């Protein structure tokens, strides 16, 4: 089946620390991979994406590389800020029947302390 | 450019009742998807509408139904509410193109008592 597994949180870091949030997936076919971020009380915002193997998605200092050989899409940032505190969701996107659906992991909460 | 909007923001219903949630898609977007996000979980795909037709459905019972209107706005209807239906309901729209970038609304928080 199709699924996404993320590391459990919360992840607590000091400001300017290096961030890694692990994400692995299982999929039939050739999915696109996404990272979404959810701030408290809000919906999901697309952070970055990659559509094929070896693609690197990047945005706002975050980046992730689509690794087909390890079925992974780990999120990294070199220096986190307090404002990065949020819940991060890894997702794969697949066309199934006539629709395009996103399959999400369970989310990883990041807390950045000053 | 107006983003995805949803209404209401919050509502409380009693078990067995029916509820309708509304979503206005982003300008230029003809595809709307609905997701259910239980507390502490990732969103789960309910169904998708493209040009007023349901074109895909997740593992949700028939008491979850929807509509899409000519202006591409959408409704999610849930009949015979159960306690487990308590969740954040998210609407996402996209332009149906190859980028598959879905833009989410702020959600409707439904509490069933």
Q: Is the pLDDT of residue B77 over 80?
A: yes
Residue of B nearest to A52 (CA): B99
CA A27 to CA A30: how far, in whole Å? 7
Residue A96 has a pLDDT of: 80
pLDDT for the residue numbered B1: 59
Question: How far apart are the C-alpha atoms of A93 and A90, rounded to whole Å?
Answer: 10
Q: What does the pLDDT look like over A28-74, one tens digit per residue?
A: 888 999 999 999 888 899 999 999 999 999 999 999 999 999 999 99
Q: How confident is the model at residue A8 (pLDDT cuts 50, 70, 90)?
A: confident
Average pLDDT for residues A72-92, to the nearest whole number? 97
Q: Which of B3, B43, B50 to mutate to test the interface with A (most CBs of A within 10 A)?
A: B43
pLDDT of A93 > 90? The answer is: yes
Find tokens 């879905």 and name the residue.
B102
Which residues in A lie closer than 8 A to residue B35 (C-beta atoms)?
102
Q: Which pLDDT belongs to residue A104?
A: 97
Which of A89, A101, A107 has its CB closest to that of B58?
A101
| pLDDT value, residue B70 | 93
| Cα distances (Å, whole numbers) of residue B58 to B55, B66, B68, B77, B93 | 11, 13, 17, 15, 17
Q: Is B104 on the interface with A (CB under 8 A)?
A: yes
pLDDT bracket for residue B103 (50, 70, 90): very high
- Please compute the mean of the pLDDT values over residues B53-82 and round it to a whole number: 95
For residues B73-92, give the mean pLDDT: 97
Distance from CA of A104 to the nearest CA of B (A): 5
In this predicted structure, the answer to whether residue B90 has a pLDDT above a threshold of 70 is yes
B93, B100, B103: best to mutate for the A interface, most A CBs within 10 A: B100
Q: What is the pLDDT of residue A112?
A: 97
SS3 assignment, position B56 = strand
> DSSP letter string over A31-53?
-EEEEEEE-TT--EEEEEEE-ST
pLDDT of residue A29: 82
pLDDT tens per residue across span B3-31? 899 999 999 999 999 999 999 998 888 99
Q: Find the chain A residues whose C-beta atoms sit closer than 8 A to any C-beta of B.
A: 4, 32, 36, 41-46, 49, 89, 91, 93, 96-107
């Amino acid at each position: 089946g199709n699924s996404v597994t993320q590391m459990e949180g919360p992840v607590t870091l000091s400001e300017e620390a290096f961030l890694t949030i692990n994400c692995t997936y299982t999929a039939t076919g050739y999915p696109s991979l996404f990272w979404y971020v959810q701030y408290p009380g809000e919906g999901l915002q697309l952070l970055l994406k990659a559509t094929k193997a070896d693609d690197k998605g990047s945005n706002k200092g975050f980046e992730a590389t689509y690794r087909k050989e390890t079925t992974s899409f780990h999120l990294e940032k070199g220096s986190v800020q307090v404002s990065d505190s949020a819940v991060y969701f890894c997702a794969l996107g697949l066309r199934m029947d006539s629709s395009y659906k996103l399959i999400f992991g369970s989310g990883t909460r990041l807390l950045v302390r000053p | 450019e107006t983003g995805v909007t949803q209404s209401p923001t919050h509502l409380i219903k009693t078990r067995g009742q029916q509820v309708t949630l509304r979503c206005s898609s982003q300008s230029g977007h003809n595809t709307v998807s609905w997701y259910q996000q239980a507390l502490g979980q990732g969103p789960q795909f309910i169904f998708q509408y493209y040009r007023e037709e349901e074109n895909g459905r997740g593992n949700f019972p028939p008491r979850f139904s929807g509509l899409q209107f000519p202006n591409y706005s959408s409704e999610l209807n849930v009949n015979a509410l159960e306690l487990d239906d308590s969740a954040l309901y998210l609407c996402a729209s996209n332009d149906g193109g190859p980028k598959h970038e879905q833009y989410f609304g702020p959600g409707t928080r439904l509490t069933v008592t």
